[in-house]
Amino acid sequence: MSTSFKIFNVIGARPNIMKIAPIVAEMRRYPELHPVVVHTGQHYGFAMSQVFLEQLKLGEPDYNLQVGSGSHHAQTAQILTAFGNLVQQERPDLILVVGDVNSTLACSLAGAKECIPIAHVEAGLRSFDRSMPEEINRVVTDALSELLFTTEEAAAENLMREGVSEQKIFFAGNVMIDSLFAALEAARRSPILGQLGVKRRQYAVLTLHRPSNVDDSERLLATLNAVAQIANDLPVIFPVHPRTADRLAESKIANLQKWNGIGPIDNHGTWIMPPASYLDFLCLMDSSAMVITDSGGIQEETTCLGVPCLTYRENTERPITVTQGTNTVIGTAPENLVAEARRVLSQSPYSHPAQPPLWDGHAATRIVTVIRKYLDDRVRKNNENVTSLIIS
């Protein structure tokens, strides 16, 4: 095997860190692999980036492109330019991207144009809704990738239907669950429940960040009015994404209470708080009665934890969380949100379905095993080609 393979591991948004951390940790076990962490800076600041790097033990990135926020096209263009320049300078042997954010697409495109092979972790997931920017990112990234690592069996069917060779597809399991299993014991020691003054199974968690749910002020108000009805039954804890915080400030929505971090919350109401750290949020999910979300990764994490999840969207790219997990896709009608939440809260006892296949905490091992073989085979084939040319 070659002395060293340089592998760029791209992080951009907060969920990427959870997926990359176990892969980089596994790569570091092999002396021939040289994992390089490249942070595009799509998410930045302590709450959205630094605390995740620390708690997941990834360490400081080798490169931080510091592109910051912006519209989809502007952010993608800035990442494409900055990452493309870095690839030209460093010429990695492989670029590994995860998920479906703008960084995933931009870095894949830059690598492909420089003829660097792309490995996509979480490939093949489809909502079949091209109005979602993430769906565009998924489809294009998969089309550019040489190695496609899937989290569920339906993903391979999606890829082959799009013309991807079966030889490029590897069912690896869910690497985000690797991070969850590794951190769960520490998360359960988090003081966050005591700080909030809530008890296990006696509160709900809410996350909202998708433009379709938060950018229209009337729609956002209707959603939060529905959440306020749910909050009459038990407190709803709402760690607010920066994008959503901006929309709330613009809309001057009043039916929210702010937890100031000093005393416990009251028994009822929708309580907003800053973005939680990985361990604190994992603790909040694990102990909640229910999670309401428009996030993709939270659908997976709640499935793993056995916590009821209501996905406030019209579709999901993670169908296994519905067929084999705890997730229910409820659409985006506020009145339906209230009805479904009350249905969940009326159910007992608390159930924990079986884990989906290969959601076992060892996805990173399977991914790195494939990558090592792929890189070794490339070297061998290149050597054979050189030998053939010399002989001829």
Q: Is 73 a catalytic residue?
A: no
Name the 3-class secondary structure at 186: helix
Rounded Cα–Cα distance for residues 356 and 353 (Å): 9
Cα separations in angstroms, 13 against 44, 99, 118, 287, 311: 8, 9, 19, 25, 20
Alpha carbons 57 and 43: distance in angstroms, whole number: 18
363-391 and 14-27 helices cross at what angle (nearest 10)? 60
The residue from 34, 43, 72, 209 that is catalytic is 209
Residue 166 gets which letter from DSSP?
G
> How much helix, strand and coil, in percent to the nearest 5, is found in the chain?
50, 15, 40
The dihedral region occupied by 209, where left means phi > 0, alpha psi between -120 and 50, and beta the remainder, is: alpha
- Report the DSSP beta bridge partners of residue 97: 120
Catalytic residues: 209
